[in-house]
Amino acid sequence: MSVTNFEANLKHRCSSCSLREICLPVGLDAEEMTRLDDLVKRRRRVFSGQSLFRAGDPLQALAAVRTGFFKIYEISVSGQEQITGFPMSGELMGLDAISTGAHRGNAVALEDSEVCEIPFTRLEGLLADLPRLQHQFHKLLSGAIATDHALVMILGTMTAEFKVAAFLLNLSDRRGQRGEDPSEILLPMSREEIGNYLGLKLETVSRMFSKLRDQNLIATEGRKTFIRDREGLRALCQQGSDT
């Protein structure tokens, strides 16, 4: 629950961060980067299972994942939990809190992780000075909407098998963007969490993993998952929808 805090003595900086081509600083020059660095001083470690923020917490800072993996979930009026995303390195958390000033989601680390905190009010101040940063911030907000639409598409139109295939391809692609091996995925989330995210039960997720394995599209070693036939998976997605 509590969170370790190891300030700027570990001279982490956006300018030297390997994620600067994915995260907030895309397209900034050296001077602009420095001003952003001034803002993003505080890093936090969040250990596996710990919570970074909870629904209802006032929005102080956006958080960019530096290393690790999170899940974001919300509780519905009927008390149901729904995972709305699995942010990984370079992705911002807390964007949906701007509208009300309070977090709507709960952020829990799925493995030992590190985040960069970006005080939101100060960020808005900086945006007015740095048009490129402003534009990048808008692109990230807009991208979050597009990501959500992709999930809506999956939930609304796809069969169980397709959902799982699309989920694995998505994780694989995101690994690829970060220069990691896209065909080897160490899933930090349980079958139940995957099912919750995709609108399926954990048993169904498990069955679909088995089914994909039987078709030689993937291989599994516990949570470690290998993409064996990326094109086959993609082809499956292109027809694997409800009527």
Q: Which residues form the interface with DNA (CB under 7 A)?
A: 159-161, 190-192, 195, 199-207, 209-210, 220, 222-223, 242-243
Residue 196 contact among its own copies, DNA, none, beta carbon within 5 to 8 Å by kind: its own copies
Tell me the closest approach of the beta carbon of residue 90 to its own copies, in angstroms.
Answer: 14
Figure out which of the listed residues 104, 207, 211, 213 binds its own copies, where binding follows CB under 8 A.
104
Kindly list the distances between the CA atom of residue 117 and the CA atoms of 14, 26, 57, in Å, as whole numbers in the listed order: 12, 17, 15
Q: Which does 141 bind (CB under 5 to 8 A by kind): DNA, its own copies, none?
A: its own copies
For position 241 contacting its own copies by CB under 8 A, the verdict is: yes
Please list, in sequence order, all residues whose beta carbon lies within 8 angstroms of the beta carbon of residue 181, skipping any fewer than 6 positions away.
175
Taking the alpha carbons of 182, 188, 192, 194 in that order, is the dihedral positive or negative? Answer: negative
Based on the shown chain and the rule CB under 8 A, indicate whether residue 106 belongs to the binding site for its own copies.
no
Token pair for 10: 């570990």
Radius of gyration of the chain (CA): 19
Mark residue 228 as left, alpha or beta (left: phi above 0; alpha: psi -120 to 50; beta: remaining): alpha
Which CB sits closer to DNA, 31 or 242? 242
- Among DNA, its own copies, none, what does residue 104 contact (CB within 5–8 Å per kind)? its own copies
We find the least distance from the C-beta atom of residue 116 to its own copies, in angstroms, to be 19
> If contact means CB under 5 to 8 A according to the sort of partner, which of its own copies, DNA, none does residue 204 touch?
DNA
Q: Which is nearer to DNA, 92 or 108 (CB)?
A: 108
- Report 23-52 residues binding its own copies (CB under 8 A): none
Say whether residue 239 binds its own copies (CB under 8 A): yes
Judged by beta carbon, residue 1 or residue 146, the one nearer its own copies is 146
54 binds its own copies (CB under 8 A): no
- CB-nearer residue toward its own copies: 3 or 102: 102
List the interface residues with its own copies, window 152-191 (CB under 8 A): 152-153, 155-158, 162
Chain residues binding its own copies by CB under 8 A are: 74, 76-80, 82, 84, 95-100, 104-105, 124-125, 127-129, 131, 134-135, 138-146, 148-149, 151-153, 155-158, 162, 196-199, 234, 237-242
